[in-house]
Amino acid sequence: MLLTTTINGRKKEILIKDDDYLLDVLRKEGYLSVKRGCDTGACGLCTVLLNGSPTLSCSTLAARAQGKQISTIEHFPVEAKKFASFMTSEGAEQCGFCSPGFTLTVIAMIKELQNPTDDEIMHYLNGNLCRCSGYVSQLRAIRNFMEEIKNENC
């Protein structure tokens, strides 16, 4: 099957098998920031944005991306760097393994939710597992990052 899709703003045609998962296709294409974790869709390491929505690529058949836009963390260098600085300033340093999927989820959340409560943020991030930092410091970093983005857009 020929998969025609757009990855990080570039149109691609990729020969895939019917049972290929999006994670495997992306990694074969060189998008190594898309990590393999649990292979069950439970950890969030493999998160990409599919038409702007967080999608677990380890449990999504590549064929479902036909005609759609896929974004990996490489598509958001400015936002990722800025978010990383907020994480560091709040003591939410991470080993980096979960960072791409976590950051993509935060970027999608900011575009989707207006002034979310802490509970709404935690619900949106459900499934993004981090073993290095406490979620309290991450929540502070997300709140501060969202405030900064809101102020920039005013």
DSSP 62-119: GGGGTT-EEE-GGG-HHHHHHHHHHHHHTT----SSSHHHHHHHHHHHHHH-SS--HH
Residue 30, pLDDT score: 97
For 140, the token pair is 């502070």
Q: What is the pLDDT of residues 97-130, one digit of tens each?
A: 889 999 999 999 999 998 899 999 999 998 888 7
pTM, rounded to two decimals: 0.91
For 112, the token pair is 């989707």
AA identity, residue 144: N
Residue 127, pLDDT score: 84
Mean pLDDT, the chain, whole residue set: 93
2-74, what's its fold? Answer: Ubiquitin-like (UB roll) (3.10.20)
- Outline which parts of the chain fall under CATH 1.10.150.120: 76-153
- Give the chain's end-to-end CA distance (angstroms, integer): 46
Give the separation between CA 90 and CA 6, rounded to whole angstroms.
Answer: 35
User: For the chain, which residues score pLDDT lower than 50?
Assistant: none
Give the separation between CA 22 and CA 65, rounded to whole angstroms.
Answer: 8
76-153, what's its fold? Answer: DNA polymerase; domain 1 (1.10.150)
- Outline which parts of the chain fall under CATH 3.10.20.30: 2-74
Which 3 state secondary structure label does DSSP give 50? Answer: strand
Q: How many residues does the chain have?
A: 154
Beta-bridge partners for 48: 55
Give the separation between CA 131 and CA 99, rounded to whole angstroms.
Answer: 11
In contact, 149 and 143? CB cutoff 8 Å: no
